[in-house]
Structure 1
Amino acid sequence: MLSTIAIESLKRRKTTALLTLLSITISISLLLCVDIVRSQVKTSFTRTVSGVDLIVGAPSGQLNLLLSSVFNIGTPTKGIDYKSVASLKSNKQVSWLIPLSLGDTHRGFRVIGTTNRFFEHFKYGDKQALALTEGRVFEQPLSTVVGADVADSLGYTVGDKIIVSHGLGSVSFNNHDDHPFIISGILEKTGTPVDKAVYVTLQGLEKAHSGPKSAHTSRLRKKTAFLNGHSTNEHEHEHEHEHEHEHEHEEPTQDNYDSDAFTPESVSVVMLGLKNRAAALQLQYQINQSKKEPLMAILPGMALAELWQIMGNVEALLLGLSGLIVICALIGLATMLLATMRERYQEIAVLRTIGAGPFTLLLLIQLEAMLLTIVSAALSIALVAVLMSMFKPWLSSTYGLFLSSPLFSQSSVIIVLLILGCTYLVSLFPAIAAYKRGLHAGLNSN
Structure 2
Amino acid sequence: MTSFLLGLAWRSAWSRRMTLALVVCSIALSTFMLLGVERVRTDVRDSFTSAVSGTDLIVGARTGSVQLLLYAVFHVGAATNNIRWSSVQALQQQRGVAWVVPLSLGDSHRGFPVLATSTDYFEHFRHGDRQALRFQSGQRFADLFDAVLGAEVADRLGYRLGQRITLAHGSGDLNLAEHADKPFTVSGILARTGTPVDRTVHISLEAMEALHVDWMGGAPIPGLRIGPDDVRTMNLRPQAVTAALVGLDSRAAVFSVQRRINTFEGEPLMAILPGVALDELWEVVGSGEKALLLMSGLVALVSMAGLMSVVLASLNERRRELAVLRAVGASLYHVLLLLALEGLLMTLAGIAIGTAAMAAVLLALGPWLQAEFGLTLHLAQPTPMQWLLLGGLLAAGWFASLLPAWQAYRLSLADGLSPRI
Q: TM > 0.5 between the two? A: yes
- Match among 87, 95, 104 for residue 101 of structure 1: 104
Of stretches 40-49 and 113-122 in structure 1, the one that deviates more from structure 2 is: 40-49
Question: SS of 2:214's equivalent?
Answer: helix
Structure 1's 433 and 392: CA in aligned 2 closer, same or farther, altered over 3 A?
A: same
Shift of 1:262: 5.5
CA contact (8 A) 1:25 1:376 kept: yes
Check if 1:333 corresponds to 2:307. yes
Q: What whole-Å deviation, never above 9, does each CA across 1:141-171 have from its counterpart, x for those lacking one?
A: 2221111111122222222222211111211
Are residue 371 (structure 1) and residue 345 (structure 2) matched?
Answer: yes
Q: Determine which of 186, 189, 206 is the counterpart of 1:186.
A: 189
Q: Indicate conservation of the 8 Å contact 2:52/2:73, yes or no.
A: yes
- Gap regions ≥5 residues in structure 2: none
Aligned mate of 1:18, from 18, 21, 32: 21
User: Are the structure 2 counterparts of residues 423 and 217 from structure 1 closer, same or farther at C-alpha, using a change threshold of 3 Å?
Assistant: closer
Q: Deviations over 1:191-236 (max 9, x none)?
A: 211111111111111111113569958769xxxxxxxxxxxxxxxx
1:25-69 residue CA offsets vs partner (Å, 9 max, x unmatched): 101110011112212222222111111111101112111111111
- State the AA in 1 paired with 2:358: V
- In the other structure, the counterpart of 1:398 is 372
Counting only pairs closer than 5 Å after superposition, residues 11-410 of structure 1 correspond to structure 2 as 11-212=14-215, 248-249=231-232, 263-404=237-378, 406-410=380-384
Deviates most, 159-168 or 393-402: 393-402
Instruction: Give the aligned residue type for 2:46.
Output: T
Asked whether the equivalents of residues 100 and 244 of structure 2 are also in contact (C-alpha less than 8 Å), the reply is yes
Equivalent pair of 1:44/1:400 in contact (CA under 8 Å): no
Deviation at 1:77, TM superposition (A): 1.1
Aligned twin of 2:395: 421
Q: Which amino acid aligns with 2:391?
A: L
What letter corresponds to residue 95 of structure 1 in structure 2? A
SS in 2 for 1:273: strand
The answer to whether the 8 A contact 1:374-1:420 is kept is yes
Q: 1:208 to 1:415 in 2, by over 3 A?
A: same
Asked if the contact 2:62/2:269 (under 8 Å) is kept, the reply is yes
Give the aligned residue type for 2:187: S
How many equivalent pairs are there? 412
Bigger Rg, which one: 1
Change in 2 beyond 3 A, CA 1:324/1:439: farther
Determine the C-alpha separation between the residues in 1 that align with 2:369 and 2:89.
Answer: 40
Please tell me whether the aligned partners of residues 189 and 398 of structure 1 are also in contact (alpha carbons under 8 angstroms). Answer: yes
Change (3 A) 1:309 1:219: closer
Amino acid at match of 2:141: F
Aligned partners of 1:370 and 1:420 also within 8 Å: yes
Q: Alpha-carbon deviation of 1:246?
A: 5.3
SS in 1 for 2:106: strand
Q: CA deviation at 1:403?
A: 3.6
Conserved in 1, the CA contact under 8 Å of 2:100 and 2:247? yes
Query: Which has the larger displacement, 42-51 or 113-122?
Result: 42-51
Letter in 2 for 1:136: Q
Unaligned 5+ segments in structure 1 are 221-240, 252-260
1:343: how far off? 2.0
Inter-CA distance 340–101: structure 2 relative to 1 (3 Å threshold): same
Shift of 1:131: 1.5
Q: CA deviation at 1:249?
A: 4.7
> C-alpha displacement at 1:292, in angstroms?
2.2
Give per-residue Cα distances to partners, 1:408-444, cap 9 Å, x unaligned: 12222211111122223222211111222368889x9
What's the secondary structure of 1:141's corresponding residue? coil
Q: 1:349 to 1:155 in 2, by over 3 A?
A: closer
Relative to 1, partners in 2 of residues 1:114 and 1:298: Cα closer, same or farther, differing over 3 Å? same
Q: 1:124 to 1:363 in 2, by over 3 A?
A: same
How far the C-alpha of 1:404 sits from its partner, in A, is 4.1
What is the aligned-residue identity percentage?
Answer: 40
Letter in 1 for 2:8: I
Equivalent-residue separation in structure 1 for 2:286 and 2:210 (angstroms): 44
- Take 1:441 and 1:365, find their aligned partners in 2: how far apart are those partners? 19
1:411 aligns with 2:385: yes
327-336 or 82-91: bigger deviation: 327-336
